[in-house]
Amino acid sequence: MTQDTASIDAGHAAQRVRRRIIGSTVAIVATIATACADVGSGPDVPAALEFARLPYPAVVVGDSLRNEAGVIAPLRAIVRNSAGEEIVGAPVTYLYADYNRDSSLVIDSTSGTVFARKITTVSTGRVAARAGSSLQILGTLFVTLPPDTVTGSAPGDLKFEAGDSAQKVLTGDFSVLVRHNKTGTTPTAVKGWIVRYTLLHPANPTNDTSAVAYLAVDERNASVVDTTGDSDATRKVMVRKNRFLPDSGTADSLVVQATVQYRGKAVPGSPLRLVTRVVH
C-alpha cells in the first residue's frame, strides 16, 4: 500500500489530506459492493463493512460531494461484527480506488469528504472504504460538469381505444434531459443527476397507487424518482381507464412536473411542466 498527499481547493483555504490508494476489482456503475471476511467473532472485531447509502450518485467538478438538499456530505461506511451489530466508532479509512488511473477525485481518508478535481474520458470514479485488516467496500460516483439547463418532452396523446378491455393504460415516457450548456461549450449531458417527478393533474402528490393515475417505471413498479444516465431521465403515468372518464372533470390531460436541483436550488428550466392529452 502506498501513501501520498494531495491539495484540495474548494474555494476555501487549501486543505492537505492523506490518501491511501489501492487497486481492486471493477465495481458496476450505480452499485455498491459489500465486503465480508472470516476475521473473528468478538463484539468489537470487524466482520462486515457496508456503505450507508451514497449521498448522491454524482459529484460536480470543482465541488465537493453533496446530498440532494445541496449540503456537503461525506462518505459513511458502517462496520459490523459477526453478529451483525454496528461497531460504533470503529476506524474506517476512505480512499479513491482509481488513483492509479487518474486523479479525478480527492478523498479525505478520515472524514470521507469527496472533492472532484477534474473530469476525464472515464465519467465515473470508484470510492472505497477499508476497515480492519481485510475488509473493503467499493462504490461508484459519476464525475460531471455542473448542470445548468433542464429540458424535456411529454409522450404523444394517450388514446383510449373503443373495445379495449384493459383496466389500466401506461403512457409513454415523460423525458427530462439535464445538461451543462455554458456559452462557448458543447452541450454535455449531466450523468447521475436526480430528477423528481410529481403528477399535478389529476393531482396525486403522494403517488398513491390506488388513485386514478400515478407515476411509474412500468406496469408493476410505481416511482417518482429517476437518475440520468447516458441520456435522459424518464417516468410514465399509469391510468385507470374506468375512473378516468370524460365527464369526471379531470379526464382531458395528464400534467407532470419534473424538478431538478443543484446546491439546493432549482436548475434553470426546473420545475418543468409536461402535458399529454387524453383522447377518449
- Residue 30 maps to which CATH number? 2.60.40.60
Domain with residue 197: its CATH number is 2.60.40
> Model confidence over 232-260: pLDDT tens digits?
999 999 999 888 876 555 568 999 999 99
Closest CA to 160 of 239, 275, 69: 239
Question: Cell numbers at residue 188, please?
Answer: 454535455
124 and 8: one domain?
A: yes
Number of domains in the chain: 2
The predicted structure's pLDDT at residue 164: 62
109 and 40 together in one domain: yes
Q: What is the pTM of this model?
A: 0.81
- Helix (H), strand (E) at residue 233: strand 233-240
- 33 and 63 both lie in a single domain: yes
Q: Which amino acid is at 121?
A: T
Q: Which three cell numbers stand for residue 81?
A: 461484527
Q: What is the pLDDT of residues 28-57, one digit of tens each?
A: 233 344 444 445 678 899 999 999 999 999
14 has a pLDDT exceeding 50: no
Query: pLDDT tens across 102-157, in order?
Result: 999 999 999 999 999 998 888 899 999 999 888 999 999 999 999 999 999 999 99
46 and 156 part of one domain: no
Same domain? 161 vs 226: yes
| Shared domain check, 123 and 9 | yes
Torsion of CA 37, 39, 42, 45, to 10 degrees: -80
- Shared domain check, 153 and 137: no
Domain of residue 257: give its range.
Answer: 149-279
